[in-house]
Amino acid sequence: MNGRLRFSPNSFGNSGWEFNKRLLLSVPVKFETVSFKAYGALGNLSVERYLQYGIPSPDYWYWQLGLVTSAFGLDLTLAYTDSSIEPSGCGNTNYCAGRVFASITKAF
């Protein structure tokens, strides 16, 4: 388990201070000959002038559940992410809606 705390005294769009707090829990999983890492993250973002930041309230929650495996020097991720922001607070769009994503990363 690990955590992160980020602070900015002057976030983008002249929105004032911003706090971003997150906890991450990961667990190794072995299935036959393939090893995975299952993880879950929960975070909260707070902003001083939230309307200028573009969110409907002073803070919101976000979370993510996923699986990561490594092959050929690459990390392959499949995850679901979502937030507590409703479509009405996101310009009546799906930009803040939950979604499944896949990624391939390589560390250099």
> Which pLDDT tens digit goes with each residue over 16-29?
999 999 999 999 99
Q: Report pTM.
A: 0.83
Q: Does residue 95 register a pLDDT over 90?
A: no
66: phi then psi, degrees, rounded to nearest 5: -160, 175
Strand partners, 82: 63
> Which pLDDT tens digit goes with each residue over 44-91?
999 999 999 888 999 999 999 999 998 888 999 999 999 999 888 888
> What residue has token string 């310009």?
91
Instruction: For the chain, give every domain's residue range.
Output: 2-105
Residues in Cβ contact with 44 at an 8 Å cutoff, skipping those fewer than 6 apart: 19, 20, 21, 22, 59, 60, 61, 62
Compute the average pLDDT of residues 7-20.
Answer: 94
